[in-house]
Amino acid sequence: MQIWTRRTFWRAGLALAAVVLAGASLAQEAPRAFIDGTGPEWRTLGEGDFADVNGSPDTWTWKDGVLRCS
């Protein structure tokens, strides 16, 4: 069992800061994803792309091209 001293907390804080900074730099380099339908291989989904599974028939309905849940 490790005894948590001020030095241990300091080291843990530095390690956490290093992980956060590394993650931030990776996030800046990674391509950004947008859910707006304009990226490559996007297509509009319609009623034929979905199946009613384990639900009441009136739970999910299509109206004017929009999927709605009751």
DSSP track, 16-48: HHHHHHHHHHHHHHSPP---SS-STT-----GG
Please write the tens of the pLDDT for every residue from 37-68.
777 777 888 889 888 888 888 888 888 888 89
Please write the tens of the pLDDT for every residue from 8-34.
666 777 777 776 666 655 556 666 666
Kindly state whether residue 17 falls inside one of the protein's structural domains: yes
Kindly state whether residue 1 falls inside one of the protein's structural domains: no
Number of domains in the chain: 1
Domain with 41 in it:
6-69
Q: E strand or H helix at 67, and its extent?
A: strand 66-69
For residue 32, the model assigns a pLDDT of: 65
Kindly state whether residue 63 falls inside one of the protein's structural domains: yes
For residue 24, the model assigns a pLDDT of: 57
